[in-house]
Structure 1
């Protein structure tokens, strides 16, 4: 992606939850989580958030074209606490997606190791020799006009994991500029981080935060 074709939306911050330790926002599709390389790629969610919340710290990322729930820490201690939860896979994430074709079966689990596709980076690909473990559970929703609604539950957090796993399954995500052949037919990539369950850094209470699916 060059800076010339980066036109992020200028929506105001959509805050889901805010307290002394954490901030949760609904990231819009088309906005980078962190700055890209180059002057034209400086506008991103973390800089917008830090303009309003100067102590905000990054915990995890969502792809530019994915929308949905992101958590930021407002204290160093909270960043450490949340960082460990992501690292140890103690958080639970649910994504909503629309995919090409009619998915057979009601539920399933994908075990396909992944690694960066170096000649074509930032693309990733399935690689049984050099890939790192990647696991995604899925549940089929409504099927209509050759499109299937899916709920995706990643157990690992590989870059582009859901996108590559759906492509490998033969049902790429609609509007995906990297892994789908007719991305231009859709206004955005149809992938949304619908919910994030984590333990609050203060007291450790398990809490779920949601952002309504926009498609």
Structure 2
């Protein structure tokens, strides 16, 4: 099998923790200049922006020098540039570092912060923030949490090692435990293992269960319940389908508190209500490091606000934890 030649390193530094856009000119086409190809790629609506970028020398080649629009088209040539990003609403909660060594960073992500740049969330993401705050421009995500879900996320420090850590999740060699707050149903027999086939189609906000061979398996256990009708659950996913835990809890008749999509789409929609964060937390992450061989068992100290001692049910308690600021963070367990 012929290996594809890796692209040259970027001649542009990151900006606000975000890599520049890299474009590889395709091998076939009617273009005679770089400007012709990028004009077609950008489209007529961005013609003015493209002209400004060329005029300002913001589109560069592998040597870091500006590429004029009349540069001869060369199939396979790379060019780089930074996008102009619109202002983003800051997520007013910190990203706590639970564990860090020369290979990985395990962070405790707050609700409403995306893991990696996507769509309208770019600089206000856990990855971009950590790159800036830790001074680690090569940091990359080994997996992702939904923007509305809080808790532990594994990042890698060295790009050449990222594949080994991503394989942990692909091969289901990471033990993940979540906690959730949802209604209490005394008629629901727990613990229970839920198995179903979940389908999430492009363009649809919510995933749904469909007939067929199960592709999603979740273990649901009751931890405690209160007189106000709420309960705290431990959720252990054995597979990783989109919105799996949210779909399974809804199917059991106990949808996770403040879920804007399940069992039905609310007025808040997929963005969620910032006053009422989804009560789902990636509480524990356990794995054997594929590079060092160390066993890690890490735990989030974030509270689920609907279960807080004060009974508050909003986003105001994000920075605290059940053991106070810090808790047992930063201490890998099982080593």
**C-alpha deviations, 1:52-77, integer Å up to 9, x for none?**
32110111000111100001000124
CA distance in 1, matches of 2:148, 2:288: 27
CA distance in 2, matches of 1:143, 1:7: 36
SS in 2 for 1:64: coil
Distance 1:114 1:176, change over 3 A: same
**C-alpha deviations, 1:149-179, integer Å up to 9, x for none?**
1000000011100000101111100011111
Equivalent of residue 200 in structure 2, options 105, 108, 116? 116
Residue in structure 2 matched with residue 35 of structure 1 by the alignment:
117
| Structure 1 gap ranges (5+) | 1-5
Aligned length: 207
**C-alpha deviations, 1:40-96, integer Å up to 9, x for none?**
x22211111122321101110001111000010001243111111100101000000
Whether 2:187 is the aligned partner of 1:106: answer: no
Instruction: Map residues 126-165 of structure 1 onto 2, 5 A cutoff.
Output: 126-129=209-212, 133-144=215-226, 145-165=228-248
TM-score, length-scaled by structure 2: 0.57
- Report which of the two structures shows the higher radius of gyration computed on alpha carbons: 2
How far off is 1:26 after superposition?
0.3
Aligned-residue Cα RMSD (Å) equals: 2.3
Residue in structure 1 matched with residue 259 of structure 2 by the alignment:
176
Give 1 or 2: higher strand fraction.
1
Kindly indicate whether structure 1 or structure 2 has the higher relative contact order, using CA contacts under 8 Å at least 6 residues apart.
Answer: 1
Whether 2:99 is the aligned partner of 1:17: answer: yes
TM-score, length-scaled by structure 1: 0.87
SS in 1 for 2:166: helix
SS in 1 for 2:205: coil
**C-alpha deviations, 1:103-141, integer Å up to 9, x for none?**
52231100011011456x231111124x76000011111
CA distance in 2, matches of 1:49, 1:132: 37
Question: Is the 1:78–1:201 Cα contact (8 Å) retained in structure 2?
Answer: no
CA distance in 1, matches of 2:118, 2:160: 27
CA distance in 1, matches of 2:241, 2:274: 27
